[in-house]
Chain A
Amino acid sequence: MSVQAQPLRAYAVIATQPLRLRRVRQLAAKSLFGLAALVSLVTLLPLGFILWITLQTGWETASALIFRPRVGELLVNTALLEVLTLPPCIVLAVALAWLTERSDVPGARLWSWLAVAPLAIPAFVQSYAWVGVAPGMHGLFAAVFVSVLAYLPFLYLPVAAQLRHLDPAMEDAAASLGLAPWRVFLRVVLPQLRIALCGGSLLIGLHLLAEYGLYAMIRFDTFTTAIVDQFQSSYNGPAANMLAGVLVLSCLGLLGLELLIRGDARYARVGSGAPRPASRRSLGRARGIAVLLPLTLSGLALGVPAYALGRWLIAGGSEIWQARELAAAFGETLFYAVGGALATTLAAIPMAWLSVRAPGRLQRVLEGCHYYVGALPGVVVALALVTITVRVALPLYQTVATVLLAYGLMFLPRALVGLRAGIAQVPVELERAAIALGRRPVGAILSVTMRLAAPGVAACMALVAMGVTTELTATLMLAPNGTRTLATEFWALTNELDYAAAAPYAALMIALSLPLTALLHAQSRRVAGQ
């Protein structure tokens, strides 16, 4: 092959006059830190509110409100709920994940989808379905039962991802060291699931503390239901505020407990090269029995809601499809979902960028603020914003802006996780290559980094939007009068015991949430490299 020599001409873009020298300004990084610090300050509002209100209430009133039998009762209820819900969740999640990922159970792919699918059903719709099927359900055990069904996917997802991610070479090594298969599972596999189990359990624990609708529906009192009741009867009275204080302490306690149990364990694969995909263990004759577990769980968590909902929809006939009202609620929900997603993502951008490109001590502190606020129950965020707007910024009370701010605070971690991953997957080398090819730094970021991060950003916006769609507590407490979203309308109708009329709203919420479920499932597969 003959190659012609290219004549070397100076390219026109290259400046012919002398280049001006400049000091590299860290202005961009500094202003990003400023913005991230601003967002962090806002995230501290709920905690600041609790401290402020406690100081203002004074010790005597506060202790009178905190140390009373009613609070003790709620504390026992909440603790029992946590203690009774988490162990079955852990056992079921590990069993289910092992069956779908590491065994030859028939239809493993389908079961893995169905194990995640309950996420599409808002927890309060799950309990609405069960109350519809078994009207006598109430109290602690009903609460534990429905909680397990509604929240199991939060543990199943990380455990299944981790199981898929494990290097089978380690199990082979253990077997060659003389361990029987079940001991390999106990001594090698299970310990490596610790981080996934801790993370998933924390998520469920926080949801148990924060959930309102599920427990209100089956008449089980937790801190959150008690706060909402107090709030609805006496607005922001000190009683509700003090209960919120105890609730925040419980959340922080849970966070600390998880940190303690997880320790500084890190299970990374040592060595290079991609791990070989894990093999599936043959169940032999137990295949038929094993399939009963995913079948039963799917039947309870998906089949029963589908049956209940279908029954109400049929019983209600065409009367319950009030097109105008449904469309209005749908439109309003969509408005809040898109607005919340935009606001939350914008707020998370500075922190996400700094976490990837400028890690350091200050960045870690700020990022901690961004994450902790997601652990706070919606009821606390709402209570804080109600009090602050009423006392400090009355024009903002019961406005769309305040609702969006609440969503921003509650869903900030979701947006941050997605954005961070999106930015992190674009190597800084690509940006440098673009700059060396004559793009201005800002142009390089827009045309390369942002372009490549766009799918990740879109995915995290979708996650936030879906979260907003099924949010009930904060929306009930903060939304302007006359706001009708799918969730609030559903709630109003079930409170009037018009279960049939509520069914279309539930169906619409599930339809809107299904993409979220598919997205989460796909994401957990991609992380594991499949």
Chain B
Amino acid sequence: MSLLDVTGLSKRYGPQIALEGVDLTVPARSRTAIVGPSGSGKTTLLRIIAGFDAPDAGRVTLNGQVLADGPLIAPAHLRGIGYVPQDGALFPHLNVAENIGFGIEAGDPERDQRVSELMEMVELDRAMLRRRPHELSGGQQQRVALARALARRPALMLLDEPFSALDTGLREAVRKSVMRVLSQAGITAIMVTHDQAEALSFADQVAVLRGGRLMQVGAPGVLYWQPKDRETALFLGDATMLEAQLGEGFVDCALGRIPAETGARRGPGEIMLRPEQISLSPAATGPQETAACHGEVEEVEFGGALCAITVGVGFEEARIRVLVRSPGRDLPLPGARVRLSVHGGAHILER
């Protein structure tokens, strides 16, 4: 059952289009990531859901309750939607306990107990209760911000790039604990981010936003392996795009014949391969090898666990460059001839 429904949402700032005809359905108890480059309208979408901004057109409903219908909106403070801003936005004049208790009604007898429960929930040491925000690390600040928003037991939690201010190592740990807290409390979450890796690992459902339009929505695996278009494919990770001829259950391209779900499509098309689908082996000679695809190593970029190797493949007079990821051991040298083999099927992009 869906918790949040967004239909036909549009918003402009003067001549600037921020959102155009956005439809999004968020199932209850799920995690959705809205991902897109900066200026794609993702923060505007979040602000409209939170009630800080009114759309020009479109509807937002939460649990059947209409929150926005065109420029008519329900006030933000009555929506019961949790909000964790980018850098936590802790109130600097209040200590940790007062920050977490900010949303709990004054005079609630359970207030102190709720605060310590919440501290425990986000794995914060009780000793920090009396600390001021500036005495906390970035990760601790984000945990306090999360606890503060959880205090009101919201049905929906909005997270605006919550991990972007954290160091890479810390980011992953905080993300994991946030995911666990949210799923244990059974709270539906929407996170906005420009980091595609973060979106893919955080969410059950990823929505790609570009230029104010929703390009594609789906499970992370589906979006990664079956993007609709080139931009989405490249936004979610490295990819090699190749011109191909579509046949029945296969495509013919510079790398030879590769299985693919061609459906009813035939003739010329464009396919996408992820670098991890291609593996390299030393070129060998022999009768069965002439059919295999060979290329010449152009560039090797050492990267530790995974190294990026660019291979030039000759195809119909042209030279096509293919990106391959390979473990750091036994790397070929630039100029070496290698054999390329493709694992799994190719994905055909929509035109």
Residues of A near any B CB (own CB < 8 A): 1, 3-6, 8-15, 18-24, 427, 429-430, 432-441, 444, 448, 451-452
Contacts and interface: CB of A to CB of B under 8 A. Distances in A.
Given A6-B184, A11-B80, A438 B71 contact: no
SS of A interface (majority) = loop
A352 B91 CA distance: 22
Nearest to B85: A429
Interface in B303-333: none
Interface in B69-98: 69, 71-83, 85-87, 89, 91-93
B93 A451 contact: yes
Contacts of B120: 3-4
Interface stretch (B148-156, B197-205, B214-222, B232-240): B148-156
B77 A439 contact: yes
Given A5-B185, A436-B50, A429 B86 contact: yes
Contact of B185 (A8, A21, A440): A8
Given A19-B67, A24-B54, A433-B83, A8 B153 contact: yes
B123 A1 contact: yes
Contacts of B151: 437
B153 A437 contact: no
Q: List the 5 closest A-B pairs by CB distance, nearest first.
A: A437-B103, A436-B83, A14-B80, A19-B74, A21-B72
Contacts of A436: 50, 76-77, 81-83, 149
Contact of A3 (B50, B75, B121): B121
Nearest to A12: B105
Contacts of A20: 74
18 contacts: A4-B121, A5-B186, A6-B117, A6-B185, A8-B153, A10-B153, A14-B80, A19-B65, A19-B74, A432-B52, A433-B145, A434-B91, A436-B83, A438-B80, A438-B103, A441-B77, A448-B91, A452-B92
A308 B181 CA distance: 72
Interface string B13-26: 00000000000000
Interface string B149-171: 11111110000000000000000
Contacts of A451: 93
A362 B89 CA distance: 30
Interface residues of B, number: 51
A5 B184 contact: yes
Contact of B78 (A6, A15, A23, A430): A15
B187 interface: yes
A13 B77 CA distance: 10
Contacts of A12: 105
Given A14-B80, A436-B83, 15 more contacts: A5-B184, A6-B121, A9-B153, A10-B155, A12-B105, A13-B105, A18-B65, A21-B69, A22-B73, A432-B76, A433-B91, A436-B77, A437-B149, A438-B152, A452-B91
B187 A8 contact: yes
A3 B66 contact: no
B124 to A, nearest CB: 11
Contact of A24 (B71, B87, B148, B149): B71
Given A19-B67, A427-B89, A432-B89, A437 B152 contact: yes
Contact of A22 (B66, B75, B153): B75
Interface of B: 50-52, 54, 65-69, 71-83, 85-87, 89, 91-93, 102-103, 105, 117, 120-121, 123, 145, 148-155, 180-181, 184-187
B102 A434 contact: yes
A19 B79 contact: yes
Contacts of B85: 429, 432-433
A14 B105 CA distance: 11
Given A6-B117, A10-B153, A451-B93, A432 B83 contact: yes
Contact of B102 (A3, A15, A23, A437): A437
A435 B77 contact: yes
Contacts of B103: 437-438
A526 to B, nearest CB: 15
A11 B92 contact: no
Contact of A433 (B65, B71, B74, B89): B89
A11 B152 contact: yes
A483 to B, nearest CB: 41
Given A8-B186, A8-B187, A14-B80, A23 B72 contact: yes
Nearest to B160: A429
A26 to B, nearest CB: 11
A24 B52 CA distance: 10
B66 to A, nearest CB: 7
Contacts of A9: 153
B180 A3 contact: yes
Nearest to B101: A437
A429 B141 CA distance: 15
B71 A437 contact: no
A355 to B, nearest CB: 20
- Give the residue among A1, A435, A439 with the most B Cβ atoms within 10 A: A435
A13 to B, nearest CB: 6
Nearest to A11: B153
A3 B75 CA distance: 34
B72 A22 contact: yes
Nearest to B118: A6
A440 B65 contact: no
Contacts of B82: 436
Nearest to A9: B153
A56 to B, nearest CB: 46
Nearest to A5: B184
A281 B210 CA distance: 53
B127 to A, nearest CB: 15
Contacts of A19: 65-67, 74-75, 78-79
A216 B91 CA distance: 53
A138 B42 CA distance: 70
B99 to A, nearest CB: 9
A6 B89 CA distance: 24
Contacts of B86: 429
